Structure 1
């Protein structure tokens, strides 16, 4: 399933952002306030700058939220995880706070990003750039030899990252700073499967600048290094949720458990797609053993997405929510590790800092929590609209001159009238007229490819 799609020439991604209502320039008062706080960064009294932290992000990233240090202890492991202390720069009620609530999250596009915070903060004074003294919320999480949490500490501290690493270079040669990442990452993945967590790992379509000034779209899966690094973030989010639930206040990222009917439907689909489902195995165990590059496995993973519907943010102040868990994580979970890029993480971190210190969050902070689910839902929709429109535009542009041609494809899903197919030679996933069978290899004819409406449609080809 090789699939690289190239488009030459300019495409109007700015029009897509405008159509989706993505905020553009920052107001003058927000920029002025950011200049003031960036010029005099607030540093906590606690000094943890001797901790040899490193960051690991996509190559070229400047908005660095997390820095990690992993160590072996007598009983297991210690995870030190420094999170950019955005709350130190953005007081509640400030101009930057109001603008961040309007934006919700950073929106990434092929031609750049529309940041949640002014760049002088998100890519400067608040970012955990290497060699720079920075304020951070420092999580210290002790694990036993099996990867279970034994102790958690959280407090503000000044930190200094030693190096900025990227996934590609770490994947080629794990540096000494991260030599325990594979060991701890695999342990945490095993514990996640024990909890019934469901991690699809389905490759995603991504559009990036091409070598000729055009654009390239390809399917990209998660590397082992990214998966292990994600486990550190998920671990921290689980610890944050525990603090919130024990303290009786916070905002969780929730997802209902997989519906038994959906699990049964998926189980019935497995034999036809060549997927082995042993007796007693949960869907997470089955999914963990699949290869997304195999067409029939890809079709199964696409169908398995039905198990992860209904994600939301749930704020509470008092009794815990009736359904506090996250089905994908297999435990209660909160977003706290990406405050430079996601609004809710700043509030979650502030709640956890107060609770970890044995205090209650301020009345002003508590009053803001009920607003967050709506703000995040709106920004999530906006971001999804942009991502889908970008891919639709690139697909329609490259295929515009090929209407009538026949392509090899794999069927991902199907209903009574339409199917979704994935071309085997190009990074295109699109609707196809006709009733087909998931996992089946088919020939499809391109019926529509219209860049103006960003529409691509196929029909089953006659033999």
Structure 2
């Protein structure tokens, strides 16, 4: 639901114009300065290539069909004697970006890629992020090559990372990967994604970790017009995420052992927050026995069910305290763990799209080599958490405003129509004001009952009373 909004066709002109105006209003840096582009072109011509050649490993990537900024490629195999070997290649952005240069300064300003429905505003110029630095199929590229050995239960036994030249053989999308795994036509490296993914999910349950399968909203072109639909994640989405989580946990362990690093942390949710979710579950008629843990309940939900999807969205409130914490000289932070991962964890697998990952990668390389991190890394370490927090706030603002704008734009001709919805939230001191989730189209919006009390968790027929793209405002009332 409230996640990145994807557009599957060319949007109509008014919507594109409104999104362009939104970028201007939010002061989003769409174009790159000339000196940044010039430095990028120079880096493409002469990257710092590693000595180790791993192009013989037949890597593959799994990403949305139109993605070109491919951060990760993997190869999965069985180990002699049992267990598995995960080779996970991460784009080596540092092979192209000179510390203190124009590219570096611009990345520090942008912090992360911003996603709009019609286009993205990249962290790095496209000739890098979608070109020379991307792990595109058939292209040799520098990477940070992780090798993580797992036992037969999927537990990490050893992990190391080194610079290497890699070459992806295939670019897969989630639906295609899922289809091959399900019908048995996947070759072993892809088929093992399901085996390892399920083992890692079982270990996540064992340690008390949580992964939320929150549906995404998509703009879909249909019969000459555009509609909003929900897309529930596939199992392959979750299995792919487990490989990234595995690497982020291994990276955190390396940095903690070395005494210097940057972690992604999340405090344990306060008791009041979980109690609030119990009330939401009751209101949405979701059975939550007292002996069932929060993690168990979340895994039992079906994101295709409107009530379950609404509750999963409510669960994201427990993740709002996530942030980045830097440490050095063995002075470990508190909290040390990420409560949703239920382990030490860091972001290190998306350096094309997120600034902190480039630094985490360098810290891990230094830890494995038993060396001090590069000076440019340690000099930036203390400022990184604040920079990433500001970037995250900007990304959240973009996401929220895009959703509001698109919903208003696609509903503007339907004012007065009646829709089926579920009331998913009611203000505590204003019981006539709340939030509804429409079953069709995929809209989450405000509802005002004009003095009447809204039935939290109940299905309701609602009438669209306002849809104004100019103010990005959508409003419903009980029909």
Post-superposition offset of 1:264 = 2.9
- Are 1:335 and 2:352 counterparts? no
Q: Give TM-score, length-normalised by structure 1.
A: 0.94
Which of 304, 320, 344 is 2:356 aligned to?
344
Give the match for residue 89 of structure 2. 82
SS of 1:332 mapped into structure 2 = coil
CA gap 1:271/1:216 in 2 versus in 1, 3 angstroms: closer
8 Å contact kept, 1:49–1:158 = yes
Residue 126 of structure 1, CA deviation: 0.7
Distance 1:347 1:213, change over 3 A: farther
Inter-partner Cα distance in structure 1 for 2:203 and 2:35: 47
Task: Tell me: CA distance 1:269–1:341, structure 2 relative to 1, closer, same or farther (3 Å).
Answer: closer
Q: Residue 230 of structure 2 aligns with which residue?
A: 219
Whether 2:292 is the aligned partner of 1:285: answer no
Aligned: 1:440 with 2:458: yes
The secondary structure found in structure 1 opposite 2:14 is: coil
Distance 2:341 2:124 in 1: 28
Give the aligned partner of residue 360 of structure 1: 372
**Distance change (3 Å), C-alpha of 1:18 and 1:215:** farther
Corresponding position of 1:428: 443
1:125: how far off? 1.0
Contact 2:69 2:134 in 1 (8 A): yes
How many angstroms does 1:17 deviate by? 1.4
Q: 1 CA distance for matches of 2:315 and 2:383?
A: 31
User: What is the 5 A alignment of 1:92-111?
Assistant: 92-111=99-118
The equivalent residue for 2:470 is 452
SS of 2:53's equivalent in the other structure is coil
Give the match for residue 149 of structure 1: 156
Q: 1:129 aligns with which of 121, 129, 136?
A: 136
Could you tell me which of 191, 194, 198 is aligned with 1:179? 191
1:326 corresponds in structure 2 to 338
Determine if contact 2:142/2:165 at 8 Å carries over to the other structure: yes
What's the counterpart of residue 14 of structure 2? 10
In the alignment, which residue of structure 2 is the partner of 1:236?
247
Residue matched to 1:246: 257
The 5 Å alignment of 1:291-440 reads: 291-318=302-329, 319-416=331-428, 417=430, 418-434=433-449, 435-440=453-458
* Residue-by-residue CA offset, 1:348-403 (whole Å, 9 max, x unaligned): 11111111111111232111012112222222222222222222222212322333
> Contact 2:207–2:342 (CA<8 Å) still a contact in 1?
yes
Distance in 1 (CA, whole Å) between partners of 2:208 and 2:131 is: 40
Q: Find the aligned partners of 1:302 and 1:155 in 2 and give their Cα distance.
A: 38
How many residue pairs get matched? Answer: 458
Structure 2: gaps spanning 5 or more residues:
none
Could you tell me how far apart the structure 2 residues matched to 1:268 and 1:118 are? Answer: 47
The 3-state SS of whatever aligns with 1:184 is helix
